[in-house]
Amino acid sequence: MKAARRALITGINGQDGILLSDHLSKNGYEILGIGTQEGKSSFLNPSVGYQKIDIRDTATFTSVVDSFTPDSIYNLASISSVARSFEKPELTWEVNGYAVANILESLFGKAHHPNLKFFQASSSEMFGLAAVEPQDEEVVFHPVSPYAESKVFALESCRKYRKQGYFVASGIMYNHESIYRPKSFVTRKITSGVAAIKKGEQSTLQIGNMYAERDWGYAGDYVEAMALILHANEPDDFVISTGITHSVKDIVTIAFDEAGLGGRELEFLELDEGLLRPKEVNRLVGNSTKAYEKLGWKSQKTFEQLIREMVRYDLSAK
């Protein structure tokens, strides 16, 4: 017998794809995941279906939607590295921006899927150099990277189809992390680096801007917000954040402490100017009052619990 509800998730092999598919599977969903790799991640539940598709291939994407007939689509696919977007701006605009506009036009402009719900993973990076703090849904975007620009374009496209009456919603996601985070992002780079130092496998840890401040939460909490956003009565945009900022230096301090190397950071840390971005957003902090009031969502795991858990995982990993 087929599950009553079906969700299609793009970017299934990423951190959020793994955690969201777990969450939706537990809630009775049949999941089809889409990714650009040959096969699906070994972290995914065996019940999750998989198809290799580039979301820029609108025709193939649309035909998969027509055959799988999902009631919800979660668009998590993206060039997710802000740093990489400076090196590959065209690719970033294509995948994160134009592909989303093309899919929406295909699903809701050319065709008509009145009952299909679409979630777009938007980003706090869109606020960029915003003058207001903390940022809520009304704050004007001030993007400074190709990544942020592409996400603003995609969100504007979502709003266009929402105005036409379709359920197209978005989460403005602040940084969210877990053991599934690739080591190219700063939290996991530090937790895995510190674990490697502790195990004697690495002697230094190169870091860029130690004083950047972000509003870091636990990805497992954030995927629950995504599902709640698609289960709300009305489609809308929601800031998903903890409301608390920490610096990269704070991650370093907690990670070294958890590994039993507290206070010895300077023996191992190297500041690498090559890791500084052409344009940096120094500080972001979100206000998720709307998500709390309308969805009942609140971030649960603290920053310190999160970083300590990631270090413990990396220490135990082979």
Active site residues: 123, 125, 147
Q: Which is nearer to ligand G4F, 80 or 287 (CB)?
A: 80
Q: Which two tokens stand for residue 304?
A: 């310190």
Instruction: Give least dist CB 199 to ligand G4F, A.
Output: 20
Q: Which is nearer to ligand G4F, 3 or 83 (CB)?
A: 83
Q: Which is nearer to ligand G4F, 68 or 86 (CB)?
A: 86
Instruction: Give least dist CB 4 to ligand G4F, A.
Output: 32
Check: CB of residue 48 under 8 Å from CB of residue 60.
Answer: no
Question: Which amino acid, 297?
Answer: W
Check: CB of residue 71 under 8 Å from CB of residue 116.
Answer: yes
Q: Which is nearer to ligand G4F, 30 or 177 (CB)?
A: 177
Q: Are strands 49-52 and 269-271 parallel, antiparallel or unpaired?
A: unpaired
The CA angle 120-122-125, to the nearest 5 degrees, is: 170
Instruction: Give least dist CB 184 to ligand G4F, A.
Output: 6
Check: CB of residue 116 under 8 Å from CB of residue 168.
Answer: no
**Phi then psi dihedrals of residue 205, to 5 deg:** -130, 115
Instruction: Give least dist CB 186 to ligand G4F, A.
Output: 4
**Phi then psi dihedrals of residue 117, to 5 deg:** -105, 135
Instruction: Give least dist CB 144 to ligand G4F, A.
Output: 11
Residue from 191, 172, 195 nearest 180 by CA: 191
Q: Which two tokens stand for residue 252?
A: 């370093």
Using CB under 6 A, list all residues that contact ligand G4F: 80, 82-83, 123-125, 173-175, 184-186, 189, 207-209, 212, 214, 248, 275, 277, 280
Rg (CA), the chain: 19
Q: Which is nearer to ligand G4F, 54 or 280 (CB)?
A: 280
- What SS3 class is residue 224? helix
